[in-house]
Amino acid sequence: AAAFLVVLGLVYFANYPGSNMLRRFTVDDHYRSQTVEAPERLARIAETFAATLGPPDRSVRVVSLMSGFPLALGYGVYAEFATAPFFYETNDRLPVEDVRRLNGLAPSLVADWLKRVAPPAIMTGYNRDVEKEITAYAEAAGYVAFPLNPFFEEEYEASYALANIIEVADWTLYVRPDLADASAL
């Protein structure tokens, strides 16, 4: 009877609202099963970057709210985006002078900044609502879109923790028209 109560208590604890124990275990299992395939998928993403932007070069900077991806692949990022999405998303609450002084951008400022800088590449996929101004600029300026969704969806399709990201994201690498060579892929 004591063993039954212990097992019952463990099952209750693992499924208690707010407990991540069971979910963490299943997600970790998923990642352990992906260890062989994940590098291959990252290599395909790296090939897309290299085929469109040339070999990894920190002087080739990519606009992205997910600055870790371009950096991990050997490309540079803009300081204005290096603070990740939170700073970008909340900057509309600050006076414009403060945002500029902090070398940041806000959704209300990004279109003018993009027109002035005309970056070689833009990677979106964090969240389509947050990135709508960035995506609108890329599409209006004629950037060539290279979808990255298949690479991410294959890797994360079984992951509950990342399922919501896939639902709201359009993982895309936009390359400035004068640099894009669609035949390279």
Read off the pLDDT of residues 54-74 as tens digits, 9 standing for 90 and up: 899 999 999 999 888 888 889
Read off the pLDDT of residues 131-154 as tens digits, 9 standing for 90 and up: 999 999 999 999 999 888 655 544
Read off the pLDDT of residues 23-56 as tens digits, 9 standing for 90 and up: 444 444 444 444 445 566 677 788 888 988 889 9
Q: What is the pLDDT of residue 112?
A: 95
13 has pLDDT over 80: no
Tokens of 179: 């640099």
Read off the pLDDT of residues 70-90 as tens digits, 9 standing for 90 and up: 888 899 999 998 877 888 888
DSSP string, 23-71: HHHHHHHHHHHTTTHHHHHHHHHHHHHHHHH-S--TTSEEEES-THHHH
- Residue 180 near residue 143 (C-beta atoms within 8 A): yes
d(CA 79, CA 163): 29
What's the predicted TM-score (pTM) here? Answer: 0.70
